[in-house]
Amino acid sequence: QDEETYREVLTCPICLELLTDPKVTPCMHTICCGCLDKWINQKGQGKCPCPVCTIEFEPPTGGAKGLKGNYILNDMLDTLRRRLKKESDSTIRHCDICLNEDEKVKATSKCIDCDQYICKECTRVHSNIKALKDHKVIQITGDDRKDTSALLEMIPKRMKFCTSHPDEQFKFYCRSCNEVLCRDCCITTHSGHKCENLNENVKQDMKNIRSLIQISLQREENVNAVIQEMNDYKEKIERNASDMKTKITKDRQAQHELIDKYYNGEEAKVERFKSEGLKKVDAHISSLQMQNGITVSTRHLLDTQQQYGHPAEIINMRKEITKKTEEWSQPQELDFDSKFKLTYTYGTSKTPGLQFGQVSSLKNIIKENIKIEKDVAPFKDENIELHDLAILDNGEIVTAHAKDGINIIDPVTHEQKLHVTMDCSYVASAPNNQIAALDSESCTLKLVDNNGNIDTTMPYMAWSVAATPDGTLIAYFGGKISLMNSQTKTLINTLSVNNDFLPPCIAVNSRNEIILSFYSNNSLEVIGPQGDTLIQYEGLKKQAQLQHPWGTCTDPFDNIIVASYGTNSVHLLNSHGKFIKLLVTKEDNIVGPSGVVVDKQGRLIVGTSIGKLYYISYLESCAN
């Protein structure tokens, strides 16, 4: 351990000075006796919270003096105080024995067991005294770092003597009385009891300490992983807020200077949502860091006990170690439950007048009462088939109708803005408002702009398609998933998946995990970027059967949505594949759900095989 670690272990968390008469709380935190007494008195009678971790304990009669002393840290303090107070290496140590005679003689050794510095002559006398023959004596070299290191190495080897028989070392453990004994105690007051060798008996305690240290390391690693996730999420909030500001600015320019005041208010709303979100994330990170601080401080204590603890002292902490092991063996509560997503509803400049755009904050909370808007489809042919849906960056809705082509629909008026002639059953949203469309006749992917022109034809076979926000195309063909760069037309990776009778519908979440719904197998799978299966879902036997799953998508919180064509229902799963609820049930009379997609306002759009569209508001939101 380096000097800073020593200082951290040996510093009182209240006065922030080197410990004085250190006492150990039941939750295994070490504090100056005087500081802890003041703390207990300030908190009044009854239980007192630990000043480090806030876990309550009952102060003993007489205050902090009644708590166990941390003798290991006491010994370390005596050894390290000079270095930690940064005294000069040139400071001369004098013989403690000679000082009693008012003689200043340079010390050449130190007896660990007597805790005295001694000169050359006193060392010779000391070594010839029979009662002191087993004492540990080390030479003082004058190099403060080397001398300190040597002293620390000797701390675990020092002798501990019985208070009843001062000339006898602790060498035995009475299992009957749970006490550490000397030889005379075994013969006298513990005669007939089951006494064991102290060094043998303490082995299990050392093993428990090592195990607890490993648990603390894992807890620290878990917390650090979530802190990293939270920091990444903070960046995501920043990006999301920045995106909202860009959309607000574009819409404001389209509706002229007279509405500047309104949109400035909307920007302030974004800032407030962002600020509130970041405060919650920071509070969660602070809570996690506090957990880590508690874990690390306890581990430092365990480290010092493991390295320098005497068996008697370690056994004396057995109860606390067992309690802490049970506490730390419980699952950690690290999840963050306050995630949100900013959305923006575009304004319109139609003949009746202006409709302002609006920012709102979506929450990952499912409404108790789900609102369904019935049949908003604008298709001229009432019997048109609908196979798939997508939402472009500008919010426009894209529908795929097999031989009846592709339609682009205005998200506000629901008027059909454009028709693209192509036999297409699967569509996805690509960057810059492009449509990744599957040409069913040639089994190839084509990139179509929002004017209906084909920009690019990918040189790979495909039966179904999805796309990531950065433009990576994900295509299925013959039991393989291909990942392609839409700009360079190059193949990035190929993954093997189930070869269903029909091509699966594909979606992708923010972690680039691929969701596949297998119509014939009645199942949904999620695979990782390397092809490993992460989730398998086959519905619930009674209340939520999955039969012939068709369209699938994710929402802003990576919740998974899948249309169960055979049961006229839509399933909502969380990001880990756990069933949450049915967003559509057979009682809603939405017959043959085929396509699903979440729009820019966080509403689910469900398309049916007979060309109907339904809006479903299922996420809680706040616009103020």
**For position 332, what pLDDT does the model report?**
87
Cβ neighbours around 565 below 10 Å, total: 21
State the DSSP string of 377-415.
---SSTT----EEEE-TTS-EEEE-BTT-EEEE-TTT--
Q: Which two tokens stand for residue 503?
A: 């091509």
Check whether 10 has a pLDDT greater than 60.
yes
Confidence of residue 119 (pLDDT cuts 50, 70, 90): very high
Check whether 99 has a pLDDT greater than 50.
yes
Element (H, E) at 583: strand 579-584
End-to-end CA distance of the chain: 53
Ordered by start, the domain boundaries in the chain are 1-69, 203-338, 364-622
As a whole number of angstroms, the longest Cα–Cα distance in the chain is: 114
**Residue type at 531?**
G
Check whether 601 has a pLDDT greater than 60.
yes
Of all residues in the chain, the percent with pLDDT exceeding 70 is 89
Cβ neighbours around 513 below 10 Å, total: 19
Find, among 458, 574, 567, 456, the residue nearest to 515 by Cα. 574
**For position 75, what pLDDT does the model report?**
55
Check whether 31 has a pLDDT greater than 70.
yes
549-575 pLDDT tens trace: 999 999 999 999 999 999 999 999 999
Confidence of residue 5 (pLDDT cuts 50, 70, 90): low
Confidence of residue 2 (pLDDT cuts 50, 70, 90): low
310 close to 373: Cβ distance less than 8 angstroms: no
Own/partner pairs for 491-494, CB < 8 Å, 24+ apart?
Answer: 491/460, 493/529
Check whether 273 has a pLDDT greater than 80.
yes
Confidence of residue 153 (pLDDT cuts 50, 70, 90): low
Confidence of residue 206 (pLDDT cuts 50, 70, 90): confident
CATH number of 1-69: 3.30.40.10
Check whether 72 has a pLDDT greater than 80.
no
Cβ neighbours around 152 below 10 Å, total: 18
3-state helix, strand, coil in the chain (%, to 5): 30, 30, 35
Check whether 485 has a pLDDT greater than 90.
yes
Find, among 539, 622, 532, 624, the residue nearest to 577 by Cα. 539
Q: What strands, in cross-sheet order, belong to the sheet with 505-508?
A: 505-508, 514-518, 523-527, 533-537
Q: Does the pTM exceed 0.95?
A: no
**For position 70, what pLDDT does the model report?**
64
CA–CA distance, 304 with 298 (Å, rounded to integer): 10
Q: Which residues does 398 contact at the CB level (< 8 Å), separation at least 6?
A: 389, 390, 391, 392, 406, 407, 408, 409, 427, 429, 435
Q: Which two tokens stand for residue 416?
A: 């059909």
517-546 pLDDT tens trace: 999 999 999 999 999 999 999 999 888 899
Q: Which of 257-266, 324-333, 448-457, 607-616 comes out lowest in average pLDDT?
A: 257-266
**For position 122, what pLDDT does the model report?**
92
Check whether 298 has a pLDDT greater than 50.
yes
Q: Which residues does 532 contact at the CB level (< 8 Å), separation at least 6?
A: none
Exposed/middle/buried for residue 482 (C-beta within 10 Å: 0-12, 13-18, 19+): buried
Find, among 37, 35, 312, 317, the residue nearest to 174 by Cα. 312
Q: Which of 22-26, 159-163, 269-273, 294-298 comes out lowest in average pLDDT?
A: 159-163
118 close to 95: Cβ distance less than 8 angstroms: yes
Q: What strands, in cross-sheet order, belong to the sheet with 464-467?
A: 464-467, 472-477, 480-485, 490-496
Average pLDDT over residues 18-34: 86
Interhelix angle 203-254/318-328, nearest 10 degrees: 30
Check whether 605 has a pLDDT greater than 70.
yes
Q: Which residues pair with 23 in a beta bridge?
A: 31, 69
**For position 352, what pLDDT does the model report?**
59
Check whether 282 has a pLDDT greater than 80.
yes
Confidence of residue 515 (pLDDT cuts 50, 70, 90): very high
342-370 pLDDT tens trace: 888 877 666 556 677 788 889 998 998 99
Q: Which two tokens stand for residue 165?
A: 């028989």
Confidence of residue 509 (pLDDT cuts 50, 70, 90): very high
**For position 77, what pLDDT does the model report?**
62
Confidence of residue 92 (pLDDT cuts 50, 70, 90): confident
Mean pLDDT of the chain: 87
Helix (H, G, I), strand (E, B) or coil at 21: coil
CA–CA distance, 156 with 198 (Å, rounded to integer): 14
**For position 88, what pLDDT does the model report?**
47
**For position 377, what pLDDT does the model report?**
64
Q: Which two tokens stand for residue 468?
A: 């990531």
Check whether 185 has a pLDDT greater than 70.
yes
**For position 44, what pLDDT does the model report?**
74
Taking the C-alpha atoms of 301, 303, 308 and 312 in order, what is their torsion angle to the nearest 10 degrees? 60
Q: Which CATH architecture has domain 364-622?
A: 6 Propeller (2.120)
**For position 541, what pLDDT does the model report?**
85
